[in-house]
Amino acid sequence: MTAWERGTRLAFDWRQVSFPRDMKTRVEVTFEAVADETRVIVRHYGWTALPRDQAAHHGFPDTITQQRVADWWRRSLSALGARD
């Protein structure tokens, strides 16, 4: 964990299993009260710094890789929100 501001912000380094040890991306999660709910915003940085031949790209250009990562986060957060 690189940052923790209780109820406001969480940040951490993230690396896919296929990344070399010195390669990582950064995730920042912010929490915002909206009426009786909480808006969760996830920003995942560092994908464009990965080498083009890195397996995480799956052969896609940066914009497609970023969209696929965003979709993964949406599905993950949706699944988490569906849990009781």
What percent of the chain is predicted at pLDDT more than 90?
A: 48
Structure tokens at 71: 């979709």
User: What tens digit of pLDDT does each residue of 34-59 get?
Assistant: 999 999 999 999 887 877 777 776 77
* Long-range Cβ contact pairs of 54-59 (< 8 A, separation 24 or more): 54/18, 54/19, 54/23, 55/16, 55/18, 56/16, 56/18, 56/19
pTM (two decimals): 0.78
Confidence tier at 84 by pLDDT (50, 70, 90) = low
